[in-house]
Amino acid sequence: MKVFLDANVIVSVLNKEYPLFTYSARLLSLGDNNNFEVVTSPICLAIAYYFSEKKSGTQQANRKIEMLIRKIGITSVDAEVAEKAIKNKSIHDFEDGMQYYSAESAGCDCIVTEDIGDYYFSNLEVLQTRPFMERYVFQ
């Protein structure tokens, strides 16, 4: 299963934001499991870096993002993704649209985010971290 992580999930891991950290850290560790492929977009990485740097400083944020890049896959955000996001009239937040089409073009099966309402237009399954873990991992 290919799983796309939204920025808020990554931020919760980098900044150890409880109670979400408990589930999001375990989800991130699924990158070591052959049954899952965990990916995110460059946009999510940039957002996560911003919040990590604010909390931990530049050096620590650099180390965290470097470790993360080695652990998970990175999707593409290109002209096709941007064009699909801007042309879809049902999408009201361009950034969410770019995340969605980046996940879709990478062949993801689902998007994991704490803000499931952001993906009201999604044809992919969208779950929060805890329900994802309960459905696909803790069976």
Token pair 């062949």 in the structure block, residue:
107
- Is domain 2-136 annotated with CATH 3.40.50.1010? yes
- Write out pLDDT tens, residues 84-139: 999 999 999 999 999 999 999 999 999 999 999 999 999 999 999 999 999 999 87
Predicted confidence band at 31 (pLDDT cuts at 50, 70, 90)? confident
Rounded Cα gap, residues 100 and 121, in angstroms: 9
Rounded Cα gap, residues 36 and 107, in angstroms: 13
**Residue 115: what are its φ and ψ, rounded to 5°?**
-110, 65
Predicted confidence band at 32 (pLDDT cuts at 50, 70, 90)? confident
How is the chain split into domains, by residue range? 2-136
Token pair 């375990």 in the structure block, residue:
26
For the chain, percent of residues with pLDDT exceeding 70 = 100
The confidence score (pLDDT) of residue 129 equals: 96
Asked if residue 13 lies in contact with residue 47, where contact means CB atoms within 8 angstroms, the answer is no
Q: What is the DSSP string of 4-51?
A: EEPHHHHHHHHTT-TTHHHHHHHHHGGGGSTT-EEEE-HHHHHHHHHH
